[in-house]
Amino acid sequence: MVAVEHHGVYGIWTDQRGAIVVVRKARGPYTGLLDLPGGSPELGEPREATLRRELAEECGIDAFRVRSWHAVDLEVDRDSRGQPIDFRHRGEIALLDVDQVPTRRRGVEDVADVELHDLATLPTAECSPLLLEGLRLLTAHGSTTRGDDLDGTTVQQVAARAALELPEVTLGHPFGPDHDVFKAVDKVFLMATEVRGEPLVTLKCDPEQARALCQELETVTPGYHMNKRHWVSVRGGAGVTRELVAELVVDAYLLVVEGLPRHRRPVLPDHLRRLTER
C-alpha cells in the first residue's frame, strides 16, 4: 500500500442561522463526502492567501476575517468507499467570520457541489474526517447555535436524526405509536416518548457517566422504567444542548454495538471506530 501525505489550508464558519458551508468532493479519498472548503498552497504562498484563493474558487467567498488557526494531523485508513488506504492529512483549519453568501462555482475539478447544512441536521455519516475535526474545533472554540439549550421536542428530534445516521439502526414501535424505539442491529439503545405530557429520550449510558450527568443536570435523571444504573432519561432544559444529545446517542449506540458478538457488529466508519479505541 502506497503511503500518501496531503497538506492543505481550510476554513469553517457558520452563518446567522447556524448553517455551515461545505463542499461535496468529486475525487480523492473523500469522494462523495462532505468536506471543508480549502486546498493546497502554491509554492511560497502564505496560508491566508491560499485560503482566500481556494474559497473564491470553490464557493465564491472573497472576504472573511480569521478568528483563529488550528493545526490538524489526521491518519485516515479507509476511503469513502471503505477501501484500505494509508493517507495522512495535515494542515491548518481557520475559524472564520464570513458575511457573504456562498455560490456554486463551475469548473472546480475536485468539488461536485457547494452545500449549506444546518448543524442540527448535518449528516455526520457523510462527513469527511477533516470536516468532523473542523466541527470539533468549531464547537470547542467557535460561537455557534449548537450551544443553545433545547426544549423536549427538539431533544427528541436531534436524538432521532443522530441515531438514524448510524450504521444498521432501525426505528420501530413495539410499545405503540407514541413510543419510538431505536435499535442497533436488534438491541435497543434509544427510546423517545412522553411522560405526563413532557417529551423525553431514554438512552443506554455508562454507569459512571450516568451518575455524573444526573448530578450535574436537573434535566437528566435515571432511566424511566429502565435499569437506573445503565440508562438515563433526558428532558429539555438548561444544559441540554445539541452536541450533548448527539454525543449521548453515539455513546449509547457504541455501548450496545460493543456488546454484540463480533460477527454481528455493524461495520463502523473511521470516526466511530476511533471512538471505540479510546
Q: What integer is the mean pLDDT of 84-107?
A: 87
Asked whether residue 137 falls in the same domain as residue 14, the answer is yes
Q: Say if residues 150 and 95 touch (Cβ distance below 8 Å).
A: no
Asked whether residue 134 falls in the same domain as residue 207, the answer is no
Q: What is the extent of the structural domain holding 33?
A: 3-145
pLDDT at residue 277 in the model? 61
Q: Say what the pTM is.
A: 0.54
Asked whether residue 7 falls in the same domain as residue 139, the answer is yes
Domain boundary, last residue among 93, 116, 145: 145
Question: Residue 182 is inside which H or E element, if any?
Answer: strand 180-184
Q: How far apart are CA 225 and CA 76, in angstroms?
A: 41
Assess whether pLDDT exceeds 70 at residue 275.
no
Asked whether residue 97 falls in the same domain as residue 158, the answer is no
Q: How far apart are CA 192 and CA 181, in angstroms?
A: 7
Q: What integer is the mean pLDDT of 19-33?
A: 94
pLDDT at residue 142 in the model? 55
At residue 203's C-alpha, the angle toward residues 200 and 209, to 5°, is: 115
pLDDT at residue 146 in the model? 43
Which residues, listed in sequence order, are joined to residue 23 by a DSSP beta bridge? 35, 114
User: Residue 78 is part of a domain; what is its CATH number?
Assistant: 3.90.79.10
Asked whether residue 16 falls in the same domain as residue 134, the answer is yes
| Model confidence pLDDT, tens digit, residues 161-210 | 889 989 999 999 998 998 999 999 999 999 999 988 899 999 999 999 99
